[in-house]
Amino acid sequence: MSDDFELDTDDLKRRMEGAMQNLKTEFASLRTGRASGSMLEPIQVEAYGQMTPINQVGTINVPEPRMVTINVWDKSMVGKVEKAIRESGLGINPQLNGTIIMLPIPELNEERRRELTKVAGQYAEHARVSIRNVRRDGMDQIKKAKADGMSEDDQKFWEAEVQELTDKMIKGVDAALEHKQAEIMQV
């Protein structure tokens, strides 16, 4: 058994990258004072008896830097989409124009910018925790293999591999957080 151990570092890397991808999705939903269709991604609308992403009930456009529009395909859904946006916590007041919902993006004040940087920090910390949990899983696999007869040199090699991957991913989270915070604080 000792010579046969092969840690699936690709699986660990894939799981850590999943945490990074989730972080990027969460960051995209944070308003930075500029209009972006991605800020509506987390919003779900009850459509035809089930929860549906907002981009599956209408076309999302960004016609100008401080405006997002949603052209709702089904007239009967306009009220539900408007309600979902109001209840989403984005702090945007939708305006109706037939089947088009206009979302004017207000200027962010200093206090709101600071709040958003704290939220971004929380998202980053969740990503770090997820990455560390994947690291722990890898280390547990190595410990189990050590108990099954793996040599100490092999153990140290695999532990170094897992730690190197973890450090690289954590550095990526920190860089993404720094970039997002700078983007939020930019006036």
pLDDT per residue of the chain (187 residues) written in tens, 0 to 9: 445 677 888 999 999 999 999 898 888 777 666 677 777 877 889 888 898 888 889 999 988 888 889 999 988 888 999 988 888 767 778 889 888 999 888 777 888 788 888 888 999 999 999 999 999 999 999 999 889 888 899 999 999 999 999 999 999 999 999 999 988 887 6
Cβ count within 10 A of residue 140: 10
- Contact partners, residue 48, CB within 8 Å, separation at least 6: none
117 token code pair: 């940087």
The tokens of 82 are what? 């408007």
The torsion angles phi and psi of 99, rounded to 5 degrees, stand at -95, 5
Q: How many Å is the Cα radius of gyration of the chain? A: 22
Bridge partners of 68, per DSSP, are 103
pTM above 0.85, yes or no: no
Domains of the chain: 9-27+109-185 (1.10.132.20), 34-104 (3.30.1360.40)
